Amino acid sequence: MRKIAIVLMMLGIIGLVAFPCLAAEEKAAPAKPAPMTGKGMAAKMAAVKAPVVKLERIDIANYWPFYLEAKEKRGSALNLAFVFSMENPNNYKVMLDDLKFTVSFEEFEVNTITYFDDNYIPAKSTDHLRINGSFDSFSTMMLLLVSQGHRLQELNVKAPDLVKKWWDDIQDFKFPIKLYGTATFVGPDGKDMIVPFEGTFPPKP
């Protein structure tokens, strides 16, 4: 019994000595920063600026001289590359979630193109994106006849002749190519920012 009493006494002495040290260490430990919530996060989100999307240029990726075989439902192909610049004015990166735009040759809508790949744009920087669009003379002619036949009648123009003119003149971009669309970006709060844009190539002098 005497040995047990001695052991208990020693444990009590060790506890009295160690407790002030542990308390001092706990007091000295730096507090972890609290996550930004409430007013702090709201203030940051209020400062979010929408990215700016611009059409920089259009390149001819692939080109085949004009031919059209209506009975065989086929025609020559044309692939254009649309080069965009996307400026992120914020102090944090944003993600491009999708980009959609409609292409018009001389005010005639000829295609709608959609881009779905995620693309991150660093803070305070400008990224460039190249999107290819495919056209063919037969599909373009059919689109004109089905959706814009009344305009062809008003202008007294035949669809095959107009498409041939585009295929012949595209090599030197002798006619304006216009586009308009929207880009969806995602900020640090996970919310979508829908940015409208439009452009013309060649640019007006």
pLDDT digits (tens, 9 = 90+) for 123-170: 999 999 999 999 999 999 999 999 999 999 999 999 999 999 999 999
Same domain, yes or no, for 21 and 65?
no
Tokens, residue 58: 């259009």
pTM (2 d.p.): 0.76
Task: Please compute the mean of the pLDDT values over residues 174-178 and round it to a whole number.
Answer: 97
Range of the domain at 24: 2-30
Using CA atoms, how far apart are residues 97 and 99, in angstroms rounded to an integer?
Answer: 7
Mean pLDDT to the nearest integer, 74-91: 97
The DSSP 8-state label assigned to residue 49 in this structure reads: -
104 part of a folded domain? yes
The residues facing 105 across adjacent strands are: 108, 177
- Which own/partner contact pairs does 139-148 have at CB distance under 8 Å and 24+ positions apart? 139/75, 140/75, 140/110, 140/111, 140/166, 141/68, 141/70, 141/75, 143/109, 143/110, 144/108, 144/110, 147/109, 148/108, 148/109
Chain centroid, CA 170 distance in Å: 27
Q: Is the same domain home to 23 and 115?
A: no
Number of structural domains in the chain = 2
Q: In CATH, what number is assigned to the domain containing residue 131?
A: 2.60.40.1820
Q: How many CB atoms lie within 10 A of CB 18?
A: 10
Residues 14 and 95 grouped into a single domain:
no
Structural domain contains residue 7: yes
Secondary-structure breakdown of the chain: helix, strand, coil percentages, each rounded to the nearest 5: 35, 40, 25
Strand, helix or coil at 128?
strand
